[in-house]
């Protein structure tokens, strides 16, 4: 609109000047007087127009800066995601808690701010106030996933336990009701079995129907790729952590883990009840954490789990 007025007044001004050139002196003088207000208005509108153009230019400049910033943030997030997806994923899982070693493990992983998953046995929780308090501490901890390791742990009579699939499901469900897990991941006691979207693995064929029943009841079954062994009499963990790390690396490099690029490590809370064992765990975790090829993640991030 301003442009139209500006153009109209400009034409009017030029025509007045032409008229002025043709007329007599007074007439020319009066014409100039008549033209003057238009001339002033013209200058005012012109300056307004320039100011408006400057404002527009400033807005465009700041919009473009904001766009550049957003673009940079988007590119940074893509680069971060790509770097993360290139890393091999390590799932630290600790079975059979709560027991004497659980808080030691929790303290080490909290000190290093790394994620770890604990597979809980309901029967152990119900053993006393101390175990209940340990469970509460776990539930209140960040970077921790709690998963189902059955209520009874088969009372360590596995063949009998797995011979009745419906009672296995009831055992898993009762532990789920007791602990109120926020996921449906189960590790079968005494068995390295897998039942997820992408893996169907049975270690002992006779137990297969029980695994199928647990999966059909809506639970995902997670086994492991490698175990940090311990002496079942003294409960001391195997001290050759260099060898363990080398074996983990070889499994990942050769693509022999259940899911390529993902490794589930099984360890047991109870093997970290002594100061010596805690020191070993601290060294192991520090070596894992400082390895730039690895990313430590929770069991709940494992690919192929069903969305519940
Ligand atoms: Zn167990």
Q: What is the pLDDT of residue 70?
A: 72
Strands (E), 154-209: 185-186, 194-195, 200-201
Reply yes or no on whether the pLDDT at 4 is more than 50: no
pLDDT bin (cut points 50, 70, 90) of residue 62 is low
* Backbone angles phi and psi of 141, in degrees to 5: -85, 145
Q: How far is the CA of 95 from the centre of ligand 1 (A)?
A: 5
Name the average pLDDT for the chain.
86
Identify the residue with better confidence: 31 or 231.
Answer: 231
Q: Coil, strand, or helix at residue 287?
A: helix
Residue 75: count other Cβ atoms within 10 Å of its Cβ: 10
Q: How far is the CA of 270 from the centre of ligand 1 (A)?
A: 11
Q: What is the pLDDT of residue 54?
A: 58
Q: How far is the CA of 161 from the centre of ligand 1 (A)?
A: 14
Q: How far is the CA of 111 from the centre of ligand 1 (A)?
A: 25
Tell whether the torsion through CA atoms of 220, 226, 232 and 235 is positive or negative: negative
* CA–CA separation, 114 and 118 (whole Å): 13
Q: What is the pLDDT of residues 71-125, one digit of tens each?
A: 777 677 666 666 667 899 999 999 999 999 999 999 999 999 999 999 999 999 9
Minimal CA–CA distance to 89: which of 273, 207, 261? 261
Q: What is the pLDDT of residue 56?
A: 57
Instruction: Give the bridge partners for 95, in sequence order.
Output: 119, 268
End-to-end CA distance of the chain: 60
Reply yes or no on whether the pLDDT at 296 is more than 70: yes
Identify the residue with better confidence: 30 or 192.
Answer: 192
Q: How far is the CA of 307 from the centre of ligand 1 (A)?
A: 25
Reply yes or no on whether the pLDDT at 299 is more than 90: yes
Q: How far is the CA of 153 from the centre of ligand 1 (A)?
A: 6
CB 144 within 8 A of CB 191: no
Instruction: Give the mean pLDDT of 264-287.
Output: 97
Reply yes or no on whether the pLDDT at 42 is more than 60: no
Cβ-Cβ contacts under 8 Å for 244 (sequence gap 6 or more): 226, 228, 238, 284
Q: Coil, strand, or helix at residue 185?
A: strand
Q: What is the pLDDT of residues 117-165, one digit of tens each?
A: 999 999 999 999 999 999 999 999 999 999 999 999 999 999 999 999 9
- DSSP classification of residue 121: -
Q: What is the pLDDT of residues 164-181, one digit of tens each?
A: 999 999 999 999 999 999
pLDDT bin (cut points 50, 70, 90) of residue 65 is confident
Q: What is the pLDDT of residue 123?
A: 97
Reply yes or no on whether the pLDDT at 18 is more than 50: no
Give the gyration radius of the chain's Cα atoms.
37
Tell whether the torsion through CA atoms of 227, 230, 235 and 236 is positive or negative: negative
Range of lowest pLDDT (49-53, 90-94, 210-214, 240-244): 49-53
Q: What is the pLDDT of residue 307?
A: 85
Q: Which helix (H) or strand (E) holds 64?
A: helix 25-86
Q: What is the pLDDT of residue 126?
A: 96
Q: How far is the CA of 269 from the centre of ligand 1 (A)?
A: 10
Q: How far is the CA of 39 from the centre of ligand 1 (A)?
A: 94
Reply yes or no on whether the pLDDT at 37 is more than 60: no
């Amino acid at each position: 609109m301003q442009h139209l007025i500006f153009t109209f007044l400009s034409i009017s001004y030029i025509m007045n000047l032409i008229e002025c050139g043709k007329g007599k002196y007074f007439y020319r003088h009066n014409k100039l007087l008549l033209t003057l207000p238009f001339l002033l208005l013209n200058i005012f509108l012109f300056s307004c127009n320039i100011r408006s153009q400057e404002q527009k230019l400033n807005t465009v400049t700041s919009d473009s800066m904001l766009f550049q910033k957003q673009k940079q943030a988007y590119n940074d997030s893509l680069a971060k995601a790509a770097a993360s997806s290139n890393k091999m994923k390590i799932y630290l899982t600790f079975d059979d808690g709560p027991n004497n070693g659980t808080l030691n493990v929790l303290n080490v992983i909290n000190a290093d701010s790394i994620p770890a998953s604990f597979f809980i046995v309901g029967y152990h929780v119900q053993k006393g106030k101390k175990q209940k308090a340990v469970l509460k501490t776990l539930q209140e901890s960040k970077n921790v996933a709690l998963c189902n390791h059955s209520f009874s742990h088969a009372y360590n009579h596995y063949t009998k336990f797995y011979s009745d699939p419906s009672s296995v499901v009831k055992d898993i469900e009762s532990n789920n009701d007791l602990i109120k897990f926020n996921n449906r991941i189960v590790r079968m006691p005494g068995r390295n079995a897998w039942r997820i979207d992408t893996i169907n693995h049975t270690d002992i064929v006779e137990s297969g129907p029980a695994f199928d029943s647990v999966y059909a009841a809506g639970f995902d079954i997670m086994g492991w790729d490698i175990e940090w062994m311990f002496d079942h009499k003294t409960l001391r963990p195997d001290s050759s952590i260099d060898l363990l790390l080398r074996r983990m690396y070889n499994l990942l490099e050769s693509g022999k883990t259940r899911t390529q690029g993902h490794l589930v490590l099984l360890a047991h809370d109870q093997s970290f009840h002594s100061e010596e064992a805690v020191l070993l765990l601290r060294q192991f975790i520090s070596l894992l954490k400082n390895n730039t090829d690895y990313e430590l993640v929770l069991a709940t991030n494992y690919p192929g789990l069903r969305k519940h």
